[in-house]
Amino acid sequence: MQPLTTKELNYMCDMLSAEDLLIKTCATATMVATQGDVQQFLHHVVGEHQRRYDEILRVLEQHESVAH
């Protein structure tokens, strides 16, 4: 496995920031939503974005050992 380039690392950081924003936005919307089915859907969406965030972070952690 080759180390990530600076450009790739910046892209990954941007992806983490975007996923984090989506998690927070959907979590807020979940609290404001009044219909149960909408709340359930938004809760699912939060979980999906959290899964993506965790996966991106895992990939970065794998590459951390290569960079050192």
Which residue has tokens 């984090």? 20
pTM value is 0.87
Q: Which domain holds residue 41?
A: 6-67
Res 29: pLDDT: 97
Tell me if 23 is assigned to some domain. Answer: yes
Over range 33-50, report the average pLDDT: 97
Domain count within the chain: 1
Q: Is 19 exposed, middle or buried (0-12, 13-18, 19+ CB in 10 A)?
A: buried
In a domain, 60, yes or no: yes
Q: Mean pLDDT, the chain, as a whole number?
A: 93
Contact of 60 with 8, CB cutoff 8 Å: no
